[in-house]
Each structure stands twice: as structure tokens, then as C-alpha cells.
Amino acid sequence: MITIKDLGFTYGETGGLRSISLNKEKGHMVPTEKFVLKNITMNLEEGRIYGLLGENGVGKTTLLTLLCGLKKPQMGTISADGRNPYDREPSLLSEQYYLSDEVPPMNMKAVDYAKNYGKFWEGFDMDKFIEVMGVFENDPQQKMTHMSFGQLKKTYISFALACNPKYLFMDEPTNGLDIPSKAQFRKAMTKYTREDSVILISTHQVRDLENIIDPIIILDRQDVLLNATLEEISEKLYFDYSSEKIEDALYSEMIPGGNIQVSLNQNGEDSKVNIEALFNTVHQHKELIKGIFNK
Amino acid sequence: MEFNSNKSIYLQICDAICEQILSGRLRPDERIPSVREYGAEIGVNPNTIMRSYEKLTADGIIYNKRGIGYFISPDAKETVLAAQRKEFMEEELPQILRRMKLLDIDPSVLAG
């Protein structure tokens, strides 16, 4: 389990970026701290594939890089089963993988890259790399510099899964993937990951990852708005797809053939969670949502 | 698998398994895929499959042999039939009747 407690982070030279803003009471300019992340507290459990959602600039990538030890928390702590990622102990590094949004084309064949770099991961499995490459219809003998963006991405996804990491962090993994690869990706995320792994995927492409991400984390400026399983979400919110208007709907959106309407689930009825509608509901009713989910 | 209806995914998976039991594709005491196998096959989070299996177990449609896997109950077909007949009579039929009334269709046409 990864335990995040009161995590805070700001970009700046002295660890605290100070921007100047006008203090209305005092009538002059004063510096204010600008935090990207502030007071983030949550647990990431084993055996789950978390979907990390949030608008542009809310700190999704910052959070991922903090979790894998590329950045140092300026406030609060992160503990990966008792270990601090920023210590970058080889034992922890060999159990985690961070797949960034942009991946570098190396001047070598994919299979050679895997051979050379796989050594750093305790659980690396070359056969698995070849197998996943096959699933994605990627040629392991191809030079990475000759690959398209999508092919390169699939090479790195294959590599990430072949490393058998306990902690897997992925930043927009489906960006650049073609249509068949997206379904393959969803299947691979179940088939080729460890049962006890902690997986966190940040994405804007919720449709690409629908049915695979659960729980859902919605990040807002400095804050976690929601961290709940689909089961908990459908217990508390009701997603209606009919054409009848619901009076006290929290959110409603026209779709071909009717509406998606989200309301409080008062009758204990079960419904299918629509992640986009959920996201918009949460954004329009931040305090209400925090209230009903943090009970 | 394509998920279209407005039912939650875990219930749609239950329905799919029940349908295979009714059609005879899944036989009594046959082993069904593990939670992870099934998840990988249809691209769904294993926790969702787990929820489906838990419901089917509670309903007596499948059973769990610890450490071996999930199996179709010997009387699964009867259980599914009884449950779906009840659902049809209590939920689907009243809806059809309401719709027929709306469209001004005499129920006697059904007696054919």
C-alpha cells in the first residue's frame, strides 16, 4: 500500500514559488505561496487500478513523479510499504515503474533496449516483453528511432508490464495508441500485471479506460475531490439515461436519445457509472460531493 | 464484450453468464474462468468481475471451491429460470402492458 499524508508541492527556486499578488486589505503587493498540490492525503491499495482524473494543470503528473521519487515532497510524506520513494533505494526502484507521457526513442532495437534496461528490474521477464509486443503487433526487432509515436509508446508499455512492477504509474498511457491497441491495452492491464500491484493511471481519455479503472480519483487544484470505488459511487449517486427529466438532478447532459442525469441515489438503485458525467458532477458540486463521500 | 445498456457493468456480466447457463453453453459443475482470466478476456477490472462472482455465489448460481476456482451450481439453470421468470412477470410484463395500453393494442392479440 502507498500512504500519502498531507502531501504538498510547489514549483520554484527555493522550494516555495512566490508569486506576487495584490493584498486588498493592505493595499500593496505581497508574495503568496503557489502550491500545485496541497494537503493531499490518501491511500493506494494493492490489487487496484486507480484512475487519476483532473483538469489540465491540477498536478496529476506532479503527483505521479512524486510517487516514483523523481521529486521531493516539500510537505508531508509518501510511504510505499514503509519506504520513502525519494530515498530511491534500489530495492524499491526495482519494484516500481513510471511510464511518462512522452517516451524517448532510443537508437537501438526494442529487444536490445529491453535486454539492456530490463536488468534493473528484479522481476523483468524477457518472454513477457516479447509476448506483450506481439499482443500489440509491435516488432521487437525494429529500431526504436524508426518507430511511430504509437509504436514507441506500445514498446514502453510492453516494457513496463514485462518489468512486473509492484508499483506501476502511468501518465496518459493510451495517448497515441490506435483503435485496436486501446482494447488490447485494457486487456493487458489485467492479464500482465501482478495481482498484488498498486497501479495508478492518469488520463483524460476516460472512454479508453472505462471498465478498467476502479477506484476513481478526481484531483482538483490542491485537493482530492473524490477517491472512491465504482461500487461506492453507484451507491451514492444514481446515473439515469432515460428521457424523463429529473427535477433535483445534480448534473444533466443531453445525449442522442435522451439525457445523462446524475442525482443522489436515494432509492438504493443500481446504475452504470458514466465517468465523464461523474467528473462534471463532481466539479459542479465540489463541497457536496466531498461531504457525501467522506462520511 | 460490448456494454451498452444502462445497467452497471457487474450486473451485465452476471446477465451474460446466466444467459450462457440458460442456453446450455455452461454446464453444471463446469469451471468458469478465474476473476483475472475473465477480466483479461473482456478488458474489465478484476474487482468488477469479483463483484459479479460474489453476487452469483450469493444467488446460488455458482459456487467457489477454495483454491480451485468457481463452478456452475448443479441446479443453476433452474435457479436462473425461476429468477428470470419472476423478473419477467413482475417488471417486464407490466411495462409491456403499459406500453400496449399507451398504443391502444388490445391484450387479446397476445392470446393468438
User: Cβ of B8 and A212 within 8 Å?
Assistant: no
pLDDT for A16: 46
Q: Is A214 on the interface with B (CB under 8 A)?
A: yes
Element (H, E) at A76: strand A75-80
Q: For CATH 3.40.50.300, list the domain ranges present in chain A.
A: 45-226
DSSP B88: I
User: Cβ of A272 and B7 within 8 Å?
Assistant: yes
Contacts of B45 in chain A (CB under 8 A): 49, 190, 211-214
Q: What is the pLDDT of residues A5-17, one digit of tens each?
A: 999 998 865 444 4
User: How many other C-beta atoms lie within 10 A of the C-beta of residue A290?
Assistant: 15
Contact A51, A275 (CB under 8 A): yes
User: How many other C-beta atoms lie within 10 A of the C-beta of residue B65?
Assistant: 9
Q: What is the pLDDT of residues A137-181, one digit of tens each?
A: 999 999 999 999 999 999 999 999 999 999 999 999 999 999 999
Residue B111 has pLDDT above 90, yes or no: no
User: Cβ of A270 and B7 within 8 Å?
Assistant: yes
> Which among A56, A82, A42, A89 is positioned nearest to A224, based on CA atoms?
A42
pLDDT band at A42 (very low <50, low <70, confident <90, very high): very high
> What percent of chain A is predicted at pLDDT more than 90?
79
pLDDT band at A38 (very low <50, low <70, confident <90, very high): confident
Specify the fold of A45-226.
Rossmann fold (3.40.50)
Q: Is the peptide bond before A215 cis (omega within 30 degrees of 0)?
A: yes
pLDDT for A279: 96
Contacts of A191 in chain B (CB under 8 A): 36, 39-40
Element (H, E) at B38: helix B35-42
DSSP A172: S
Q: Which residues contact B63 (CB under 8 A, 6 or more apart)?
A: B57, B70, B71, B73
DSSP A143: B
Helix (H, G, I), strand (E, B) or coil at A219: strand
Least CB-CB distance to B6: which of A48, A191, A271? A271
CA distance A94 to A88: 10
Give, to the nearest 10 degrees, the angle between helix B9-22 and helix B46-58: 50
Q: What is the pLDDT of residues B59-104, one digit of tens each?
A: 999 999 998 999 999 999 999 999 999 999 998 899 898 889 999 9
Say what the pTM is.
Answer: 0.89
Query: Is the confidence metric ipTM above 0.85 for this complex?
Result: no
User: Cβ of A211 and B43 within 8 Å?
Assistant: yes
pLDDT band at B5 (very low <50, low <70, confident <90, very high): confident
Contact B41, B34 (CB under 8 A): no
User: How many other C-beta atoms lie within 10 A of the C-beta of residue A20?
Assistant: 10
CA distance B74 to B59: 13
Q: Which residues contact A232 (CB under 8 A, 6 or more apart)?
A: A215, A293
Q: Which residues contact B68 (CB under 8 A, 6 or more apart)?
A: B31
Give, to the nearest 10 degrees, the angle between helix A110-118 and helix A126-135: 150
Q: Is A147 on the interface with B (CB under 8 A)?
A: no
